[in-house]
């Protein structure tokens, strides 16, 4: 067993840290406050190979492993979750194109995403279909050389600023097995009948666009069906979640680490009752607990990524890592804010942004309850 990062992985981690520390601080607050996507920093991040860098060199990426990509996620969120989320979201779903797309789809779409020329997103959630993606109603109907898409999606990352989305649609409702009824389509947002409306007032992660999206008879070429066979969408989504849940675990790790570091600095500087706060045993114990939780998150998330990089697909371990990462990070960030006292409640101290952001990890990419479904089903079998 090897618990260490390679020299190359340390280089990736520290390069991501340097980049985030240098580029995020000046824009983070205004992007959060005004809900603005950080376009220039996104371009720079792409030029330096941080975005979608798991994509193979043949399609413009650097072929990084899942652990490498998770390290970047961690470092970006450590500095600013909102900017980190916005940058990562621009390649959200690129794994699906790379693993399951046709050669033409890979060469047409992936290099532009990795180079920072195009923004993509992934659309599964609908107003009546969240945790249960098999209840989606958006349809794609084949008509000659085209498909016509009708329906709506919600909370879709980059739905109002992106160039194209990977959209999960119902294509084969007649099939007896429910999981065989869905397919992904690449839908350019400039097509007639597409509408993406920014959803204002997210609790956190506001530099990242979330949108209500509707498809009103959107016509796309039949070649935009992901891969060349209908009915694979559900399986492609599940395969993707094994990867995305792992680097989302990296988001939680980064938030916990970043918030804890801020809290430690604060209690060393702030004096009450004639001593720095770090003098008081009750608060020292809080730091001990936070640091232990961060270590637990790191071990689970890195292990899940390390296994995936070795082709050991462990659905259960990924679900465990994502659940524990979100839940413990929420606890750590809560204590980090508490250690700031009243100042923690004000944005000037830069701690409440972690608090607002980290909750998302317990909700998207599978809620914590859904992760526990997966874990218990793997252990006890399905009921």
Ligand X SMILES: Cc1cc2nc3c(=O)[nH]c(=O)nc-3n(C[C@H](O)[C@H](O)[C@H](O)COP(=O)(O)OP(=O)(O)OC[C@H]3O[C@@H](n4cnc5c(N)ncnc54)[C@H](O)[C@@H]3O)c2cc1C
> For binding to ligand X (CB under 6 A), which residues are involved?
121-125, 130-131, 155-157, 205, 210, 360, 363-364, 367, 369-370
Locate 205 and state its tokens.
């992660």
Chain centre distance of CA 366 = 11
Taking CA atoms, 201 is separated from 34, 204, 234, 356, in Å, by: 10, 8, 31, 12
Q: At closest approach, how far in Å is the CB of 349 from ligand X?
A: 23
Which of 101, 157 has the CB closer to ligand X? 157
- Catalytic entry in 29, 365, 369, 383: 365
Give the C-alpha separation, 38 to 335, whole Å.
29
Q: Clarify whether 365 is annotated catalytic.
A: yes
- CA angle 238–137–146, rounded 5-degree value: 90
Beta-bridge partner residues of 38: none
| Smallest distance from ligand X to CB 144, Å | 29
Residue of closest CB approach to ligand X: 130
CB count in 10 Å sphere of residue 188: 15
Cβ distance to ligand X smaller for residue 89 or 307: 89
Q: Which is nearer to ligand X, 209 or 230 (CB)?
A: 209
The nearer residue to ligand X, 118 or 279, going by C-beta atoms, is: 118
What is the DSSP secondary structure assignment for residue 348, as one 8-state letter?
Answer: G
In sequence order, what are the beta bridge partners of 152? 214
Report the distance separating Cα 53 and Cα 379, nearest Å.
Answer: 34
Q: Quote the CA–CA distance of 88 and 270 in Å, as a whole number.
A: 35
Residue 18 CB, shortest distance to ligand X, in Å, is 27
**Is 232 or 286 the residue whose CB approaches ligand X more closely?**
232
CB under 8 Å to 186, separation ≥6 — which residues? 97, 105, 109, 164, 165, 166, 167, 220, 224, 226
Q: Which residues are catalytic?
A: 365
């Amino acid at each position: 067993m090897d618990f260490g990062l390679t020299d190359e992985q340390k280089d990736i981690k520290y390069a991501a840290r340097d980049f985030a520390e240098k580029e995020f601080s000046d824009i983070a607050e205004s992007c959060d406050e005004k809900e603005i996507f950080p376009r220039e920093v996104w371009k720079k991040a792409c030029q330096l190979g941080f975005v979608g860098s798991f994509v193979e060199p043949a399609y413009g990426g650097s072929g990084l492993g899942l652990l490498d990509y998770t390290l970047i996620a961690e470092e970006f969120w450590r500095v600013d979750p909102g900017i980190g989320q916005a940058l990562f979201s621009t390649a959200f779903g690129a794994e699906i194109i790379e693993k399951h797309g046709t050669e033409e789809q890979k060469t047409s779409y992936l290099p532009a995403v990795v180079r920072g020329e195009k923004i993509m997103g992934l659309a599964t959630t609908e107003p009546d279909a969240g945790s249960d993606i098999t209840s989606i109603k958006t349809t794609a109907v084949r008509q000659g050389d085209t498909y016509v898409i009708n329906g709506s999606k919600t909370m879709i990352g980059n739905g109002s600023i992106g160039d194209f989305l990977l959209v999960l649609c119902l294509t084969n409702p007649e099939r007896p097995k429910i999981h065989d009824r869905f397919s992904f389509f690449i839908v350019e947002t400039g097509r007639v009948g597409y509408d993406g409306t920014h959803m204002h007032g997210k609790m956190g992660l506001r530099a990242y666009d979330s949108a209500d999206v509707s498809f009103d008879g959107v016509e796309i070429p039949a070649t935009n069906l992901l891969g060349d066979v209908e009915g694979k969408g559900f399986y492609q989504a599940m395969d993707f979640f094994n990867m995305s849940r792992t680097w989302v675990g990296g988001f939680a790790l980064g938030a916990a680490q970043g918030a804890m570091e801020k809290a430690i600095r604060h209690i060393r500087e702030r004096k009450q009752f004639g001593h720095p706060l770090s003098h008081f045993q009750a608060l020292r114990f809080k730091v001990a607990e936070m640091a232990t939780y961060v270590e637990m998150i790191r071990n689970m998330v890195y292990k899940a990524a390390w296994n995936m990089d070795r082709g050991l697909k462990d659905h259960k371990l990924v679900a465990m890592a994502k659940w524990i990462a979100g839940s413990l990070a929420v606890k750590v960030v809560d204590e980090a804010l508490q250690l700031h006292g009243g100042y923690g409640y004000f944005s000037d101290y830069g701690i409440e942004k972690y608090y607002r952001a980290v909750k998302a990890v317990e909700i998207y990419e599978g809620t914590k309850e859904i992760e526990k479904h997966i874990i218990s089903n793997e252990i006890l079998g399905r009921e």
